[in-house]
Amino acid sequence: MSIEEKIGLFREDYNRLKSEIGKVIVGHEDIVDGTLIAVFAGGHVLLEGVPGLGKTLLVRTLSQALNLSFNRIQFTPDLMPADILGTNLVVETQEGRKVFEFQKGPIFAHLVLADEINRATPKTQSAMLEAMQEKSVTAGGEIRKLASPFFVLATQNPIDQEGTYPLPEAQLDRFFFKLVVTYPSGDELTEVINRTTDGRKIEVTEILDGNKICEYQELVRQVPVPKHVRDYAVRLILATHPQTETAEDITNQYLRFGSSPRGAQTLILAAKARALTEGRFNVSFDDIQQSILPALRHRLIPNFEAEAEGITTDHVLHEIEAKVDRQAGVSTRS
Amino acid sequence: MKDRKLVEQKLMHAGKRRRWQQSWMGLWKGFFWGALLWLTTLIVFKLFPVPFEVLAWSGVAWVTMTIIGPARSLFKPVDLGETAQWVDDQCELKERFTAALEFQERETWGNIILKDAKHFIEQVKPRNLVCFKLPSAAKWSVFVLAVSVGLGFAPEYRTEAYTEKEREEAIIKNTGKQLVTFIRQEIKKRPPALKPTESAMADVAELGTQLSKGKLERGNALRELAKVTEKLKKEHTSLDRKPALKRMQKAARTPAESASPKNLNAMQKRMDSLKQQMGENATSSSDLQEMQRKLDQLKQTASGLQSPEGGMNEALKQSLTQQLGEMAQKAAQTGISTEQLEAALANLTSGDLEKFLKHLGDAQIDMEKTAQMSSELQNLQMQMDQIGKNLAEQLEKGQATFARQNLIDKSNKLTSGQLSEEELQKMLKELQNAIPEAADYGIVQDFLKKASKQMQQGDEAGAAKSLQTAADELENLMDQFGDMQSLMASLENLATAKMSVGNGMSWGQSSKPGFKPGGKPGKGVGTWGEEGGTWQNKLPQQAADNSGVTRPEVAGKGPTDRGEGELVDGLTSTKIKGQFDSSAPMPSITLKGLSIKGQSRVEFTESVTAAQADAQSALSQQRVPRAYQTTVRDYFDELGP
């Protein structure tokens, strides 16, 4: 199969997948797009939003549309790492011998929903680090590979601060995207009511399996990025580093730390996936720009001044995006 | 391959078109920034005393920027990569063209991207992409230009001190130019014969150059002018002491000044011609003037000839006929053409008033011409009379040119050896008569004596040689006289320069101080002359011959070498000590001269130096009466801070 055909197929599957999710999820197209892009780029997603906006439903629907194993972990303060990863248990064999056997935790699935992830203690949250980055789990001195593809789709509630533990920076950095789920519009809300209160049962068809997803992930990585577009992504990342030559004024004013190199990787990978979803064969500036917020908002650490003034990382990123010239050194004005 | 070519061709086309458009934009940008620079400079020029050159250079920069602006883009080669980025941006092609160029070498993806880009080629229309409209820089340029034009009418703000200083500089520069021009002309006209004169003239030229370049300030300029003046005066004085040159100077003031051996024949021919035209009975110009006056009266009387009834006034006609007849008779006697007068008389008799008046007018013109010829003849005669008839007279009158020619002629005649004994004796006598007169001419006298002796001894060749040597020496003296005249002229110009720089007056004002005939005097102190200026109006129309007037009762008052004068007993200078009485009026004296207004900005030391130089000059030229010289010298020597 030629690349063109592969891309055509990808686009077709993508649209179908989106359409299937759309049967359940009303609106939130950018959230659905972001989640799917993260899936095809092989990244994890952190969904943030107030309760009842359909975060969990989205992940559940996605798991139904994809022919993948799915586990849900409800994070609570008393959740222990072993509850996620699994543990060695003493079991009796048929011969009557007692041996230690590793009992896999819910992490051992293709798609893991970490619901309300910020409710668990940092110790438990950190249990996810290896799984998310290395896609493996070390338990009882043994490294166990996780299934491929492997995605963690986590949700968190920004308002219930009591009894929650903010995710550590290292944990946050491992999320490919952080998507902020907002309230639906009036029309969307009406549609939500119609769909959920008339007793209909919506069946979600399986569109893709794990192998196909891995194939598409490979395809995404092949998409070429023009040099000046790549330079733009680099300049964007450098502009988030406070107290450096490349920093913008707002960076120095409101940021304590900027984006890690993972941020740059995320920008490019997301842009590649986005280009394919639009049927293009190369990455454009627009692809990068559309990925800036979900890819970087959780990677920037605001300083005290920003928090005191209520300046969010989204605001800072908007400013940086406006300041960094797309065509640096090239006159494009007519 | 085909796709790639298509894409590149399209990009090249767009790139070229874009280059023109960028040139157009560059033109306006360059124009705008140039105009802004010009406006800024103009504002600075209007507010601060910056030199005008800055404004001119700013204008040059404006033009340069207007040229460089479009040229930068126009001569820049088309960069396909850059053009691709631009096309992508303009057509919102999502970096398709850029990627197509960049990844064209990749086997699979390159072809896909190229194919993709090719699909969008039709969307790229360079003509639509690049439209030649007026950019905002053009509108701003118009605004800047309008402000500049408006500002052009605003007067420059300059302090009075600055204006004065600028004027001074301009005057100094102009003075320098005038001096340089004068020296160049003078050297061309009379090349210096003596080394010191040449050096002095070179000094003047150098000073003039320095002044014209504005290298010297007022004080220094005055000091340098005084120095050079002093040098020239010394040189002039040394020449002026030579008696021969004094005689030549005197000769130069006579009407025969313009005559020379070369044009002597021409003068004689002209005189003969005039005499021939006027006839043997050529009348004097005063008689002609009288006749002209009478003719004018006749013409005026003739205007009343027409009676109110239409006919002629018979009584007046009779009177006119009689007067005209008498005049025609007198004119005939004095050799003046009576043709027009007789014609007028005939017409008067026949009653043709119009023709009568016409002929009367023609007669007037004839009379005027005759008067002019008479006057010219008289002048030529006067000049001829002034020229010495022999060597003695020529030497006595200081006519070195004629004397030299005379000597050369004599030498030539002696060399030819074709002189009769009588002619030789005559020549010898003329030479012997000239010897006493040649006393003032240095070795000329010696050579005349020698020649005379040699002639007596029959050594004609030797005598010819001696006369030739005397002629050469005379030529040498003439050259020196030329130098003296050059120095004199230079001194006059230096005086003008000093006046110009010192008083801040233009060269024209300084070279002709006072007021012109018919003009009015300026404000300020009065002059001892007639302020109405009317005394200058009656300038002599003709040269008056007063050469024959002798006034033995009035002794010559020219400068003499009688040593330093001494004051008589009653005139010993004293210093008056005491204090001014504040209640009493200040003693004042009204002096002749120009009024100088304003506050002096010359340093005291400068004015003292200049005054001392002037005083020294006046003393050395003996313009100060001898009796006062010591007092004047002491006074100026004691001046100081």
CA distance B373 to B334: 14
The pLDDT of residue B532 is 44
Say which residue the tokens 């053409």 belong to.
B337
Q: What is the pLDDT of residues B45-58, one digit of tens each?
A: 989 888 888 999 99
Which of A229, A331, A334 lies closest to B95 in CB terms? A229
The pLDDT of residue A239 is 94
The pLDDT of residue B49 is 84
Residue B514 has pLDDT above 60, yes or no: no
Q: Chain B residues with CB inside 8 Å of A278's CB?
A: 94
The pLDDT of residue A242 is 94
Q: What is the pLDDT of residues A222-265, one digit of tens each?
A: 999 999 999 999 999 999 999 999 999 999 999 999 999 999 99
Q: What is the pLDDT of residues B96-146, one digit of tens each?
A: 888 888 888 877 888 888 888 888 887 778 777 777 778 888 899 999 999
CA distance B139 to B142: 5
Q: What is the pLDDT of residues A166-196, one digit of tens each?
A: 888 888 999 999 999 999 999 989 988 888 8
Q: Which of A159-168, A209-218, B33-42, B202-211 has the lowest mean pLDDT?
A: A159-168
Window 295-324 of B, Cβ < 8 Å to A: none
Which of helix, strand or coil describes residue A46?
strand
The answer to whether the CB atoms of B95 and A331 lie below 8 A apart is no
CA distance B607 to B222: 9
The pLDDT of residue A285 is 93
Q: Name B482's Cβ contacts closer than 8 Å, sequence gap at least 6.
A: B190, B193
Burial B295-316 (b: 16+ CB within 10 A, else e): beebeeebeebeeeeeebeeee
Residue A334 has pLDDT above 50, yes or no: no
Question: Of all residues in chain B, what percent are helix, strand and coil, respectively (each to 5)?
Answer: 70, 0, 30
Region A68-94 average pLDDT: 91
The pLDDT of residue B533 is 44
CA distance B617 to B614: 5
Residue B85 has pLDDT above 90, yes or no: no
Q: How many CB atoms are closer than 10 A to CB A321?
A: 17
Q: What is the pLDDT of residues B395-417, one digit of tens each?
A: 888 888 888 888 888 888 888 87
Q: How many CB atoms are closer than 10 A to CB B583?
A: 5
Burial A84-123 (b: 16+ CB within 10 A, else e): bbbbeeeeeeeeeeeeeebeebbbbbbbbbbbbbbbbbee
8 A C-beta contact, residue B105 and residue B4: no
Higher pLDDT, B303 or B159: B159
Backbone angles phi, psi at A101, to 5 degrees: -135, 135
- Locate the chain B residue with the closest alpha carbon to A219: B109
User: pTM of the entire structure?
Assistant: 0.56
> Which of B75, B77, B97, B76 lies closest to B86, judged by CA?
B97
Q: How many CB atoms are closer than 10 A to CB A243?
A: 10
Residue B522 has pLDDT above 60, yes or no: no
Residue B580 has pLDDT above 60, yes or no: no
Q: What is the pLDDT of residues A272-289, one digit of tens each?
A: 999 999 989 999 999 999
- Locate the chain B residue with the closest alpha carbon to A286: B94
Rounded to the nearest angstrom, the minimum Cα separation between A283 and chain B is 7
Q: What is the mean pLDDT of chain B?
A: 79
Q: Report chain A residues touching chain B, CB-CB < 8 A.
A: 2-4, 7, 222-224, 226-229, 275, 278, 280-287, 326-327, 330-332, 334
DSSP secondary structure code for residue B1 in this structure: -
Q: What is the pLDDT of residues B133-181, one digit of tens each?
A: 788 888 999 999 999 999 889 888 888 888 888 888 888 999 999 999 9
8 A C-beta contact, residue A152 and residue A213: no
Region A125-142 average pLDDT: 87
Q: What is the pLDDT of residues A91-111, one digit of tens each?
A: 888 888 998 888 999 999 999
ipTM greater than 0.90, yes or no? Answer: no
Q: Chain B residues with CB inside 8 Å of A229's CB?
A: 95, 98
Backbone angles phi, psi at B623, to 5 degrees: -90, -10
Which of B22, B94, B109 lies closest to A286 in CB terms? B94
Question: Of all residues in chain A, what percent are helix, strand and coil, respectively (each to 5)?
Answer: 50, 15, 35
Label residue B531 by pLDDT band (50, 70, 90).
very low
The pLDDT of residue B404 is 87
The answer to whether the CB atoms of A332 and B86 lie below 8 A apart is yes
